[in-house]
Amino acid sequence: MTLEETLKIQVKEAVKALYGLDADDKMIQLQKTRPEFEGNLTLVVFPFVKLARKAPAQVAQEIGEKLQGELVLRFNAVQGFLNMVISEDFWVKQLEEIAADEQYGFVPVTADSKLMMVEYSSPNTNKPLHLGHVRNNLLGGSIARIQEANGWKVVKTNIVNDRGIHICKSMLAWLRFGNGETPESSGKKGDHLIGDYYVRFDKEYRAEVKALVEGGMDEETAKKEAPLMKEAQAMLLKWEQNDPEIRALWAKMNEWVYAGFDETYKMMGVSFDKIYYESNTYLEGKSEVEKGLASGQFYRREDNSVWADLTKDGLDEKLLLRTDGTSVYMTQDIGTAKLRFQDYPIDKMVYVVGNEQEYHFKVLSILLDRLGFPFGKELVHFSYGMVELPNGKMKSREGTVVDADDLMAQMIQDAKEVSKDKVLRLTGITEEEQNEIARKVGLGALKYFILKVDPRKNMLFNPEESIDFNGNTGPFIQYTYARIQSVLRKAAEADKQTELKGVQLCDQEVALVQKLTEFPAVIRQAGDDFSPAVICNYAYALAQQFNSFYHDCSILNEEDQLKRAFRIRLSATVARTIGKAMGLLGIEVPERM
């Protein structure tokens, strides 16, 4: 039982005995004691004042006197706040309980656990993953781990956008300008190769539009009449008509991209339980749209396009099928949602998609509900902010993105350079081990820098700041973990088994144990808020607190054997908790740094 749970029981008993009040949990407000007052936890007594018909300070004093005993060692009342000092025996017992529980803070997943599906990544097969995808994947992967730690069964899923006009642009450019180039002949990853042709299409298309405008055509008409665009649209129509040559080219180029994606996901530490492909789901969506059309939910315009009128829902009209019968993203998402709920008994469906798609998911929820799917209203769009660069936004078609592979490679190289002096001081370390440390530190820096920001906010990515070994960074927390491991390697085995009863604790030791007791609540909050940043804040605060303790308190050189044993046990438990917290973020912690 946690400290808060134990105190709530005792407070209920106290106010019942003092004032005849049956207090519920909402009335009992506990918070960390402010640093200017003595105490570990503070009870807000104002909810009991009216019934007691006494001044707040008197109520606090009376409750404090009633609580004082084995758990509450002493107290002080300040107006309507009761500051309580918890006994050392309790903190020692808490540490022993936490140390004994390898999964402390984690709710076990059982056969009766509810199922949450988390969709993230959602790449297009016309380009490699970029910095924006990195934030999406890191958020999605971390949210999945956090929800599993809260007792959910989690299915991690990805929808690959492998069809559409953007795919045809890359295909057409490769046909026109590729001369049969392949990943093998070029030495490029497949996703990078195809991305180059997407950029090439845009370059050639712009030139065509410019020429038409210079010939007297207005720009909007020129964009529609440019030969390359018309040919790409014709290719999309052929694809939907199952033209064998177009389908064969499409399958070949997509395989190149998938192989490239797999390499990137592996380096990023991201995986999926189920991958859906738009090419397999869009027909399901079209079928549902046709049903909605037949039932009067949707309507067809004179140009043969199909629309949904959402004006009664406070929105506008939404295109579902183009004039030529080809589908749009919304059509695909309807089909994908239908298939997912057929495949899994989903209790909660979470889409990890940027905030520029908020309108899209409002519409999707309404349309699924109209089509009679009971899960329509229950969809959750986890809307996150964009990653921005010092020089502005990224544009894939102009080739101005920060490539995910290049970014991760550079972060690892930066980590190697920054940590060179530290690593060289380690004895008996091989070059392979040095490279592995650099990989963990570089990727840890990247992941932590992205995840520590409130996910709903836009963020400015700064690689130099992220790799710093001081301040609120991944390497700082990793270094703290490695520092503790160094201490533990030097500790005698007897220290780790010593009975701790009767040890006298200093304020920093109590503060560290109290911080450890907060871990379960932190995991719950991160799950409720869908926010890995909550875990980041906790990991950083715990590392900060340990480093302060490490600086002021001797561990291995402590002469009092009981205190030495306690500090080693405390250090080991802090390290394990840091490792667990960082694991929820998808960050590895090196044993040596």
pLDDT tens for residues 158-190? Answer: 999 998 899 999 999 999 999 999 999 999 999
- Residue recorded with tokens 């712009």: 206
Domain stop point among 398, 418, 442: 398
Question: Does residue 43 sit within a domain?
Answer: yes
Question: Does residue 292 sit within a domain?
Answer: yes
Check residues 400 and 279 and name the one with the higher pLDDT.
279
Are residues 250 and 152 part of one domain? yes
Give per-residue pLDDT as tens, 16-42: 999 999 999 999 999 999 999 999 999
Are residues 288 and 179 part of one domain? yes
Mean pLDDT of 125-147: 95
User: How is residue 589 annotated by DSSP?
Assistant: -
Give per-residue pLDDT as tens, 359-414: 999 999 999 999 999 888 889 999 999 887 665 444 444 445 788 999 999 999 99
How many domains, the chain?
A: 3
Question: Does residue 112 sit within a domain?
Answer: no
The percent of residues above 90 in pLDDT, for the chain, comes to 83
How far is it, in rounded angstroms, from Cα 201 to Cα 366? 36
Phi, psi of 243, deg, nearest 5: -60, 125
Which structural domain range is residue 267 located in? Answer: 120-398
Domain stop point among 355, 376, 398: 398
What is the structure's pLDDT at 219? Answer: 95
Are residues 436 and 288 part of one domain? no
What is the structure's pLDDT at 394? Answer: 41
Check residues 434 and 209 and name the one with the higher pLDDT.
209
Q: Put the strands of the sheet holding 380-384 in their side by side order.
A: 274-277, 153-160, 115-119, 348-354, 380-384
Question: Does residue 140 sit within a domain?
Answer: yes
Put simply, whether the predicted model's pTM sits higher than 0.85 gets the answer yes
Are residues 319 and 212 part of one domain? yes
What is the structure's pLDDT at 397? Answer: 45
Domain stop point among 62, 86, 110: 86
CATH code at 62? 3.30.1360.70
Question: Does residue 214 sit within a domain?
Answer: yes
Distance in Å from the first CA to the final CA of the chain = 36
CATH code at 442? 1.10.730.10
Give per-residue pLDDT as tens, 449-458: 999 999 999 9
Give per-residue pLDDT as tens, 548-573: 999 999 999 999 989 999 999 999 99
Give per-residue pLDDT as tens, 65-114: 999 999 999 999 999 999 999 999 999 999 999 999 999 999 999 999 99
Are residues 68 and 190 part of one domain? no
What is the structure's pLDDT at 334? Answer: 96
Nearest to 77 by CA among 51, 50, 48, 38: 38
Q: Are 278 and 332 in contact (CB under 8 A)?
A: yes
Average pLDDT, the chain: 92
List the structure tokens of 112: 């009766």
Are residues 347 and 227 part of one domain? yes
Are residues 261 and 213 part of one domain? yes
Question: Does residue 91 sit within a domain?
Answer: no
How far is it, in rounded angstroms, from Cα 174 to Cα 181? 8
Question: Does residue 353 sit within a domain?
Answer: yes
Phi, psi of 580, deg, nearest 5: -65, -45
pLDDT at residue 291 tops 50: yes
CATH code at 332? 3.40.50.620
How far is it, in rounded angstroms, from Cα 262 to Cα 444? 20
Question: Does residue 103 sit within a domain?
Answer: no
Could you give the angle at the alpha carbon of 93 between the alpha carbons of 88 and 94, nearest 5°?
Answer: 95
Are residues 556 and 478 part of one domain? yes
Are residues 270 and 226 part of one domain? yes
Phi, psi of 536, deg, nearest 5: -60, -50
Mean pLDDT of 270-288: 94
How far is it, in rounded angstroms, from Cα 439 to Cα 163? 35
Phi, psi of 347, deg, nearest 5: -95, -30
Are residues 384 and 336 part of one domain? yes
The whole-angstrom distance between residue 297's C-alpha and the CA centroid of its chain comes to 37
**Largest alpha-carbon pair distance within the chain?**
92
pLDDT at residue 422 tops 80: no
Q: Are 105 and 519 in contact (CB under 8 A)?
A: yes
What b/e readout covers 343-362, taking b as 16+ CB neighbours within 10 angstroms?
A: ebebebbbbbbbeebeebbb
User: How is residue 155 annotated by DSSP?
Assistant: E
Could you give the angle at the alpha carbon of 160 between the alpha carbons of 158 and 164, nearest 5°?
Answer: 155
Give residue 468's pLDDT band: very low, low, confident or very high (50, 70, 90): confident
Are residues 314 and 200 part of one domain? yes
Are residues 391 and 252 part of one domain? yes
How far is it, in rounded angstroms, from Cα 480 to Cα 389? 30
Which of 305-309, 385-389, 491-495 is most confident? 305-309
